Structure 1
């Protein structure tokens, strides 16, 4: 736990690297949620009689 506290609050480089990791995980989660929500939608009904 001391290592993580040192990484987070020890210097700016450690803090920014942790911010990048967290932002990456958040973005990947958002993209996955968008993909799943689009995939679960039903396609519109096709009313054409061709």
Structure 2
């Protein structure tokens, strides 16, 4: 329980939380980007 208190109440903990959120968001963004590009490439290959 002390770890959660440190995570949410200290500047270091809050920065860690921000980095974790950023990394999760970046993973979500790149997953969507790569899936969209794969679908576009597949559609372009089928048109040829």
Fold equivalence (TM over 0.5):
yes
Any residues of structure 2 matched to 1:9-20 within 5 Å, and which? 10-20=9-19
Structure 2 portions without partners, runs of 5+: none
TM-score (norm 2): 0.73
Aligned to 1:30: 29
Shift, 1:2, TM fit: 7.1
Aligned residues: 44
Q: Could you say which structure has the larger radius of gyration?
A: 1
Structure 1 portions without partners, runs of 5+: none
CA RMSD, aligned part only?
1.8
SS of 1:43's equivalent in the other structure is helix
Which structure: greater helix fraction? 2
Q: Which runs of 4+ in 1 moved over 6 A?
A: none
Aligned to 2:20: 21
